[in-house]
Amino acid sequence: MTESETLVYRVIPKCACSTIGQVMHYIDHGTYFDGDIHDAQSGIHKWALDHSQPKLTAAIRQGDAYSFTCVRNPYTRILSAFFDKICGIQRNGSRYRGKLVPLLIQKYGVTVDGDFDQIASFRRFLLFARDTIKYRRPMDPDIHWSPVAGHASTLVHGGGHYDMIISTEDFQTGMKEVLKHIDVAHEIDIDTMPRFNESEGHGPKRAHPVEDYFDDLAMHMVYEIYHKDFELFKYDRLDPSNKMPIAEIDLDEVHAKLKN
């Protein structure tokens, strides 16, 4: 939430969350946070900060602040998680979650070094992601590939209500629409601002079009994992090459189904 308590954002990993956090910092202070916004200890309210929790709870339950979140196509999101978190070296110079990649190599045959077969390794990772989400084995699901609907539901379960849900694929339009609904201390030009992609450069470049990573079995697994994301946030489950939403999000439907 902005320090001015005018705007509440439910963070969803791999959905432009770094850029959105920097927008919220800028509209209050006129500057971007120097570093990864996820590391900020001041300048913005975050649930991880003890002093922020009462303010966030009050704002969400009373509905005084404008509340929104941002979603993403399940196909491109799970691909991004693979290249960033599994193939990449993180900011601390180590592999993500230490023993995770060795586990994937040993139990699922994933390869991430050298000139590896991206498609084959991604599909093996997808099987692992499915196992973590559906069976919670060999570990609990990670926030970066947990379904978007699960992340979004916590605000609703906490007594909140979304005033808007925007998409990563049409970020500029959505973010400008959100800002129309609040008063800001500092105007920001969404069209010309930097993009704060904190995961960019962590891993290898994607060598193939999105659709090449998803054969019929992979598409079936993605739908098994993310069927609610496709349904609620209106993405095309039949065409991985179409990253754009295919219909308008129905906020009444989202709230009704996220409560369950």
User: How far, in Å, CA of 154 to CA of 224, rounded?
Assistant: 21
pLDDT digits (tens, 9 = 90+) for 4-44: 999 999 999 999 999 999 999 999 999 999 999 999 999 99
Structural contact between residues 219 and 237, judged by C-beta atoms closer than 8 angstroms: yes
pLDDT (mean) for 209-231: 98
Six-digit token string for 143 = 């926030």
Residue with token string 């975050």 = 46
Radius of gyration of the chain (CA): 19
Supply the mean pLDDT for the chain: 95
- Judged against a pLDDT cut of 90, whether residue 117 lies above it is answered with yes
b vs e for 60-73, b when ≥16 Cβ sit within 10 Å of the residue's Cβ? beeeebbbbbbbbb
- Judged against a pLDDT cut of 80, whether residue 198 lies above it is answered with no
Those residues whose C-beta lies under 8 Å from the C-beta of residue 92, and which sit 6 or more positions away, are: none
Those residues whose C-beta lies under 8 Å from the C-beta of residue 99, and which sit 6 or more positions away, are: none
User: How far, in Å, CA of 108 to CA of 258, rounded?
Assistant: 32
Q: What are phi and psi of 200, to 5 degrees?
A: -65, 135
pLDDT of residue 201: 63
Task: Give me the sheet containing 7-10, strands edge to edge.
Answer: 7-10, 66-71, 164-167
pLDDT (mean) for 220-247: 98
User: How far, in Å, CA of 168 to CA of 158, rounded?
Assistant: 24
- Dihedral, CA of residue 155, residue 156, residue 162 and residue 165, to nearest 10: 80
Six-digit token string for 260 = 């369950």
DSSP conformation letters of 105-153: HHHH----SSS--HHHHHHHHHHHHHHHHHT--SSPPPTTTS-HHHHHH
pLDDT of residue 91: 78
Six-digit token string for 173 = 């339009």
pTM over 0.85: yes
Confidence of residue 200 (pLDDT cuts 50, 70, 90): low
